[in-house]
Structure 1
Amino acid sequence: MSNELLAKAVETNTTVIGGMSGSADPTTGIHVGSEGKGGLLNPEQSARFLDYMFDATVIGKVARTVRMKSDTTEIDRIGVGEKLMKLAAEADNTGANSAVQFSKISLTTKKLRLDWELSTESLEDNIEGADLEDHIARLMATQAGNDLEDVVLNGNTSLSTDALYKSFDGVVKIAKANGHVVAGAGAAVSRDIFNKALKAMPRKYKQRRPDLRFLSGSNLIQDYLYSTSQNIQNVNPQDIASSIIRGDQGSLGGPAGFIAPFAFGIPIVEVPLLKETQTGSYASPSGEHGDIHLTFPNNVVIGIKRDVTVYRFFWPKKDSIEYTMYTRIGTQIEQADAWVVVKDVKVAS
């Protein structure tokens, strides 16, 4: 659907500007106004545009999305702790009120842009002709979604030379700084790795065990599948039974994001953009490493500023069409205490 919207933007001549208030209505078509030389999207249609930017992603599909009216917003959290009840004695007024814990997390967006251009010669000489412009717009829309997911996961402000990653810290860096970190120490992915992750998760979150998910890169999942197929001792009958009882797990709708065999009854979700080329942080590391994450998928919060702008201009002196797309986005972990990372898991060569 994002492809259709960009194609409509092409037809309007110059500019598409939309606000982001309201909710998406899947039954509403994309309206392009004829006022001036641009088209105006109403708030619901703009919301759809942002939703579809994440349509081909994995984390963007399941994360909690916050539509922001300003560059920075605060998300309130509330908790009551655990083990609040106590033994009561007859005719005894020694009770103490339990405290409610309030806290906030800050979510800040950064302005990102995507630029591309097409020369008139490329449109004239290509086998697709004028349709090439729409084709390229569709490819760029898909890549925009991939890049946004990439920075949401792997953003790192200390990487000052990386044009994308330096925008803001992604959830991997936030989780390693504030969550529960388990040292993989260069071990290969196995049931032991998943077992350590589960044991590191605080027990109060295990009350929602059916909602937990392991998140892993593609190669580590492949290594795990290969190891279980090679050694029958690595197969967990409970996981086989879980697959049969629960039935087929529905796809998350992206090019990846399928659910691999369970690890101790918890599905493993493939997230291809999780880095698996990291250098180990243990003594004398060798080879490439990745991370295994355990959390609730909606623990990832993606904040989106409510203005999306796509510009299209024809430059006579260059004889080319130039596109510029802007968006503002940020990410945060709502509850870092409910996130476990097993780092330094070695990827088989």
Structure 2
Amino acid sequence: MALTIEQMVDAVVKRITITELGNTALHPEKAAQLIRELEVSTPMLGPTRRLDMKSDKRDIDRVGFAARLMNVAPAEGETIVTDTEPVFTSNQLSVVKAVGVVELGDEALEDNIEREGFEDTLIAMIGGQAGIDLEELYINGDTGSGDPYLALIDGWNKLAGTQLTGVASADFDPTLVEGMFEAMLVDLITNNPVFLRLRAQMKFWTSWKAENDYREVLRQRGTDLGDSVQTANRPLAYKGIPVIPVFNMPAGDTLMAHDDNLVYGIRRDIRLEPDRLPRSGRTDFVVTFRTDANYEQELALSMPSGTPASREEQAP
């Protein structure tokens, strides 16, 4: 006797989940697979720092020194003189629930559910889109937003400790994309030089528009570099710092930060539950993440706003 769709869905869910205290969560192996799908789905989630969370809160600890550690060696019999002590501070991750739904019609389920690897296909479908959506939340989250999803948390752009603006050319000329990059670099050099030791790890996480504007500036210079950025998908850099386009970055925003400073956390118990809707002829797979984003050190970066626009006068 052939299985009903309900029975087939139930069998699939039982193979990839575990049930504890009445809650259905992905099996740890499948949860790890889903996380891998998240990380490859967007430019930022793979390189930045993910923390696995066992509870709803986790500190992002940092230890530093307020002044010079080393000093002149004392004479024999004298005590060592030190002017500094370790400073222990932290930011915190405090998770919120984010829910997503994958809708599969009955025909699609019947055609695929018994095929080898269907569970992996389902995990890949969820991970690919969930990664894009979570990256959007981590970047653009703002508890004052009119978008209920983005209002779940304050994200990286909102939490950045250094905020520059191109409005009325206050910090840089908003028509010059190179001026925006330079303003961010100069701000770090001027106001937070201690973080210059991380320059080799820094990146400009920018919008596709700003990256395209910068590519246009280089094209107009009539050099071999200008030709190559026009005809090939060549990665860009400004003064040696990679310029990485991010689909979810708003057109007027850019983050200058090193990867490990951008932190997000996901609780290990990722829930996946089917919701059968026979009248609609489909089954919804509901996935629930508990997650948050923050910085290790919010001063070790710059975040400008103000949309650079391509102009002929950008090229020298």
Indicate yes or no: 2:84 matched with 1:98: yes
CA contact (8 A) 1:156 1:173 kept: yes
**CA–CA distance in structure 2, aligned partners of residues 199 and 265 of structure 1:** 14
Gaps of 5+ in 2: 1-7, 226-232, 312-316
Pick closer, same or farther for the CA change 1:157–1:95 going to 2, 3 Å: same
**CA–CA distance in structure 2, aligned partners of residues 97 and 166 of structure 1:** 44
Pick closer, same or farther for the CA change 1:341–1:317 going to 2, 3 Å: closer
Q: Of residues 175, 194, 210 in structure 2, which corresponds to 1:188?
A: 175
CA apart distance, 1:76: 1.7
Structure 1 partner of 2:219: 229
CA contact (8 A) 2:58 2:94 kept: yes
Indicate yes or no: 2:291 matched with 1:329: yes
**CA–CA distance in structure 1, aligned partners of residues 54 and 30 of structure 2:** 16
What is the root-mean-square deviation of aligned Cα atoms in Å?
A: 3.4
CA contact (8 A) 1:73 1:107 kept: yes
CA apart distance, 1:333: 0.8
Structure 1 partner of 2:274: 312
CA apart distance, 1:82: 3.9
Mapping 1:87-166, distance limit 5 Å: 95-120=81-106, 123=107, 130-131=111-112, 139-159=125-145, 161-166=146-151
Which stretch of the first structure deviates more once superposed, 78-87 or 261-270?
A: 78-87
SS in 1 for 2:250: coil
Indicate yes or no: 2:235 matched with 1:260: yes
Pick closer, same or farther for the CA change 1:182–1:129 going to 2, 3 Å: same
CA apart distance, 1:303: 0.5
Pick closer, same or farther for the CA change 1:18–1:266 going to 2, 3 Å: farther
SS in 1 for 2:45: helix
CA contact (8 A) 1:171 1:331 kept: yes
CA contact (8 A) 1:217 1:273 kept: yes
SS in 2 for 1:113: strand
Pick closer, same or farther for the CA change 1:18–1:173 going to 2, 3 Å: farther
CA contact (8 A) 2:155 2:294 kept: yes
Indicate yes or no: 2:52 matched with 1:67: yes
**CA–CA distance in structure 2, aligned partners of residues 337 and 193 of structure 1:** 18
Q: Of residues 193, 204, 216 in structure 2, which corresponds to 1:214?
A: 204
Q: Aligned pair count? A: 279
Pick closer, same or farther for the CA change 1:131–1:169 going to 2, 3 Å: same
**CA–CA distance in structure 2, aligned partners of residues 117 and 191 of structure 1:** 44
Structure 2 partner of 1:12: 11
> What CA deviation, in whole Å up to 9, does each residue of 1:210-264 have, x standing for no partner?
11111111011101110121135xx8x9xx6xxxxxxxxxxxxxxxxx8732211
Structure 2 partner of 1:274: 249
Pick closer, same or farther for the CA change 1:321–1:291 going to 2, 3 Å: closer
Structure 2 partner of 1:56: 41
Q: TM-score, normalised by structure 1?
A: 0.69
Q: TM-score, normalised by structure 2?
A: 0.76
Amino acid at match of 1:197: M
CA apart distance, 1:321: 1.8
